[in-house]
Structure 1
Amino acid sequence: MVSDIPRRSSARTAKLASIPIGIAGRAAVGFGRKLAGGDRGEIDAKLASQAAEQLFTVLGELKGGAMKLGQALSVMEAAVPEEFAEPYRDALTKLQAEAPPLPARKVHKVLDSQLGTKWRERFSSFDDVPTASASIGQVHRAVWSDGRDVAVKVQYPGADEALRADLKTLSRLAGMFNSVMPGADVKPVLDELSARTEDELDYRIEADNQRAFAAEFDGDPKFAIPKIVASAPKVVVSEWMSATPLSTIITTGTVLQRNSAGALLAEFHFASPARVGLLHCDPHPGNFMMLPDGRLGVLDFGACAPMPGGLPPVLGRMVRLALDQRFKELTELLRDNGFVLPGKTVTHQEISDYLRPFTDPIHTESFHFTRTWLQRAAGTATDFSSQHFRTARALNMPAEYVMIFRVLLGSVGICAQLDAEAPYMGILTQWLPGFTDEVQRAE
């Protein structure tokens, strides 16, 4: 139990810095034990376990941007080499829905300020014990005055100050955090989190986003979005959803459940920009559930990007050219749209070699997403000595595409965690603008 979200910048910075410092210190001790004849495998396993525990403890206690980074990293843990991944898997998965809760008196104070001092009259009942605690708020179950079961999300006092301060500190420490999760590129994630900070802090924006999704998917046979009941800057009330968390499907789901979840998740991220004009930008398992009737339930709409008209058509043209192995045209398209750094030279053969590990899902009608496949693809891209890495240094991610690629890669990461087989190419063909345009040009 914590009394409040820690606010002082100096205290939060010291906490965050303790993660890489602590890991380095334990590594030095471990090295000494190895020299003294200790069992290498046992020592390495213990060090990794201790590092994972510290990661969860510090990021969970601080909440704010610290915890948001942990949640973002948790999506891509399937891409981390197996010898590093196991200890972090459990610790990072906890960050998807768990954090030390805010005491009831603090919750009541927020509700007083946001819903009025007579807020209790708007509820038939209110459970002071939260059902979930996340990065900048926690969720309580309640019954609205009309008898509806509702979820009440309450923002932590001081979350705004903490989130802004954390993202600045984490950006300075980005290089050191690579030692916590080898192969994870933290800096772009932090840049994108910083860009959408203010929107996430105003729950009225989240409520408007959720209303748009709920209206579009109302009665949909594949997706379920809880309707908004009430909203304020620091509190949002929505209908309660009873379903199986995606994290449970990942660990104990049947093959059928995991395949269905993977296909629905992929379709949601490709279809919603076209149908709603918004991209849901927080792809981690804590935001998705499987309902008994087979629909995918979606939560947390604080991070959404406007996508009027759907995803950019240039993405569809890229996929089509890669599918047809027209890499000379693809290289020109990448250069024309800012994906190649000015002054850098990259050949179509280098682009072909670089993309090959990532394009497996588009070369088959149904693709089996596995940790092994994702680890192999990610490992190729992060091998400093490889030609792939040298090619990557000539490439650029235009700002308008950073969030899109993070979401789509995050969705793939979850599919790998699910060990799901999904008709990925059929989903792309139906929902990705520009893909069928390329077909017409090719004929």
Structure 2
Amino acid sequence: MASKPSTRGLAVPSRRLNRLWHLGRATTDFAAGIGVRGMLEMARAREGDDQRIRLSPQATERLTNRLARMRGAVMKMGQLMSMDGSDVFTPEAAEIMATLRDRAEPMPLSQLNRVLTAEWGKDWNKQFKRFEFEPIAAASIGQVHRAETRDGRRLALKVQFPGVRESIDSDIANLGFLSRNMGMLPAGFDPTPMLEEARKQLHEEADYEAEAASLTAYREHLGDDPDFVVPAVHPDLSTPRILAMDFAEGVSIDQLTASDFSHAERNRVAELMSRLMLRELFEFALVQTDPNFGNFLYDAASGRIVLLDFGATRAVPDSLLEGYKQLGRAALAEDRAALQQGATALGYIGPDDPAEHVDRLLDLVMRSGEVITTDGPYDFGASRLFEQVFAQGRDMFNDKMFNHMPDPATMFLQRKFAGIFMLCRRLRAQVDLRAMLEPYLLGDSAKEAKPVRREAVSIRLDVGGQPIPSVPVTT
């Protein structure tokens, strides 16, 4: 065992009242960070105003520290807030919020050893030539350790935080309690179906045996793709609370914004990820719904993208798939009546919704469809679409127009779509999404969709003059 154990780490709070106290403190930190004036400005602001939440760096640091200590479902929600904070938070606050993607507090060494012993037995260390006790990543549900077995396999070992699985129900109950009792929801809006779907999804993410099965199924769908890599599972070392996989090299995909990477590389990666998103939906009917940027690594040496973390993988039922096809065809045709039918089929519009609500929701959907209705490459870097949709949606929320709950399963698909679009924006890429989407919607065989053009790019073995570091699998 070559690695020196870390003395850092805080135990995961597990009791419901204890976690509610931490969550309440996080909510208080958020409110205090904005201030009374800021909260009033948020409520009164309309589209066209500066929509960004102005948390001070100190308040943002307190909020992220609190979520990082809690881990679990609450931190997962915080990670979603941090996906592209530049659209919602000030740049200073967004930079700190972004650290939530891989900055959970690691568990103490004593707690780690108890987990490893419970899963592998008291002599677990005899299986390894090298085990790095210092985690290379710690996120919402577990932390990742690098190891090498006696037979020479280089692995990433995802070890689940103790008590996180058991705390999911209480976290969701606490989030529901706070949302209902702190004026966070419009009148008449019942979050119960969505929270229940989130609860089930988080339980699935905490089931590492289920994740191993999803990862294996996804590898089979992807096949021998020249542009993507999915690490293989090692069943002999995997348990319900430990997932053993090939160790993957690369840099987090959002780091392609560095000057070392060319615009052609960024465009190619954004195009590959966008095309993969459509293949997942229309070909695989199996979608990895967690678009956390840390779940995708770019290996500059090979030009391939490494796909990680399949805990949030979901099968797409035919009914939902047909609803998205109907909505997509209507958006491409700019057919408002057909758009209403598609939005109704997916549950975004209820049968008793007032005409004004329907019209404003269709306006929002039409505006959001700009990325697929534009002829030629859509310039994500120059687009103001995300700010506009955020402002329009916030106005509708304030006007109490979100009182109908769509199919909860759409929440996770929307998360994936939004995450890929945010990645394209982060990379300031130009992507022709319309050309990618039309073969799936207009009757052509998906197999006839043109492959991504591999543009000539300079391949380096270092970034910024330094060797590419080993980058962790993110939980």
TM-score (norm 2): 0.78
Structure 2 residue 376 is matched with structure 1 residue 365: yes
Deviation of 1:66 after TM superposition, in Å, equals 1.6
User: Which one is further off, 228-237 or 95-104?
Assistant: 95-104
Q: Contact 1:59–1:66 at 8 Å: present in 2 too?
A: yes
Q: Contact 1:52–1:91 at 8 Å: present in 2 too?
A: yes
Q: What is the CA deviation profile of residues 149-190 of structure 1, one whole-angstrom value per residue up to 9, with x for unaligned ones?
A: 1100100111112332222212223379999xxxxxx99975
Structure 2 residue 136 is matched with structure 1 residue 131: yes
Q: Contact 1:52–1:88 at 8 Å: present in 2 too?
A: yes
Match runs of 1:29-428 below 5 Å: 48-80=56-88, 84-174=89-179, 190=195, 192-230=197-235, 231-250=238-257, 253-292=261-300, 293-307=302-316, 312-346=321-355, 353-362=363-372, 363-370=374-381, 372-384=384-396, 393=402, 396-428=405-437
Report the Cα distance in structure 1 between the residues aligned to 2:220 and 2:145, rounded to whole angstroms. Answer: 24
Matched residues, number: 412
Give the structure 1 partner of residue 467 of structure 2: none
Q: 1:5 aligns with which of 9, 12, 17?
A: 12
5+ residue gaps, structure 1, are: 32-43, 180-185, 438-443
Q: Contact 1:279–1:304 at 8 Å: present in 2 too?
A: yes
Report the Cα distance in structure 1 between the residues aligned to 2:37 and 2:325, rounded to whole angstroms. Answer: 49
Report the Cα distance in structure 1 between the residues aligned to 2:136 and 2:112, rounded to whole angstroms. Answer: 13
Shift in CA distance, 310/124, structure 1 to aligned 2, threshold 3 Å: farther
Report the Cα distance in structure 1 between the residues aligned to 2:24 and 2:384, rounded to whole angstroms. Answer: 32
Shift in CA distance, 208/45, structure 1 to aligned 2, threshold 3 Å: closer
Match runs of 1:11-30 below 5 Å: 11-25=18-32
Larger relative contact order, structure 1 or 2 (CA cutoff 8 Å, min sep 6): 2
Shift in CA distance, 157/144, structure 1 to aligned 2, threshold 3 Å: same
Q: Contact 1:3–1:102 at 8 Å: present in 2 too?
A: yes
Report the Cα distance in structure 1 between the residues aligned to 2:397 and 2:27, rounded to whole angstroms. Answer: 25
Shift in CA distance, 29/199, structure 1 to aligned 2, threshold 3 Å: closer
Amino acid at match of 2:276: F
Q: SS of the residue aligned with 1:297? A: strand
Amino acid at match of 1:8: R
Q: Contact 2:64–2:97 at 8 Å: present in 1 too?
A: yes
Q: SS of the residue aligned with 2:177? A: helix
Report the Cα distance in structure 2 between the residues aligned to 1:206 and 1:111, rounded to whole angstroms. Answer: 19
Q: Contact 1:224–1:296 at 8 Å: present in 2 too?
A: yes
Give the structure 2 partner of residue 41 of structure 1: none
Q: SS of the residue aligned with 2:303? A: coil
Shift in CA distance, 279/428, structure 1 to aligned 2, threshold 3 Å: same
User: Which one is further off, 95-104 or 188-197?
Assistant: 188-197
Shift in CA distance, 263/311, structure 1 to aligned 2, threshold 3 Å: farther
Q: Contact 2:33–2:60 at 8 Å: present in 1 too?
A: no
Report the Cα distance in structure 2 between the residues aligned to 1:192 and 1:199, rounded to whole angstroms. Answer: 11
Report the Cα distance in structure 1 between the residues aligned to 2:385 and 2:346, rounded to whole angstroms. Answer: 29
Q: What is the CA deviation profile of residues 121-160 of structure 1, one whole-angstrom value per residue up to 9, with x for unaligned ones?
A: 3322111111000111000001123312110010011111
Give the structure 2 partner of residue 40 of structure 1: none
Deviation of 1:118 after TM superposition, in Å, equals 3.0
Report the Cα distance in structure 2 between the residues aligned to 1:402 and 1:281, rounded to whole angstroms. Answer: 9
Deviation of 1:6 after TM superposition, in Å, equals 1.1
Amino acid at match of 1:315: Y
Aligned-pair identity in percent equals 25
Q: Contact 1:203–1:234 at 8 Å: present in 2 too?
A: yes
Q: Contact 2:67–2:75 at 8 Å: present in 1 too?
A: yes
Report the Cα distance in structure 2 between the residues aligned to 1:197 and 1:249, rounded to whole angstroms. Answer: 30
Two-structure CA RMSD over aligned residues (Å): 3.1
Q: Contact 1:341–1:394 at 8 Å: present in 2 too?
A: no
Deviation of 1:247 after TM superposition, in Å, equals 3.2
Q: Contact 2:101–2:139 at 8 Å: present in 1 too?
A: yes
Report the Cα distance in structure 2 between the residues aligned to 1:241 and 1:189, rounded to whole angstroms. Answer: 34
Shift in CA distance, 95/26, structure 1 to aligned 2, threshold 3 Å: closer
Q: Contact 1:123–1:142 at 8 Å: present in 2 too?
A: yes
Shift in CA distance, 408/427, structure 1 to aligned 2, threshold 3 Å: same
Shift in CA distance, 173/419, structure 1 to aligned 2, threshold 3 Å: farther
TM-score (norm 1): 0.83
Deviation of 1:298 after TM superposition, in Å, equals 0.9
Amino acid at match of 1:235: I
Report the Cα distance in structure 2 between the residues aligned to 1:173 and 1:251, rounded to whole angstroms. Answer: 40
Q: What is the CA deviation profile of residues 257-315 of structure 1, one whole-angstrom value per residue up to 9, with x for unaligned ones?
A: 32222222222222124444421011110111111222221111111111366960221
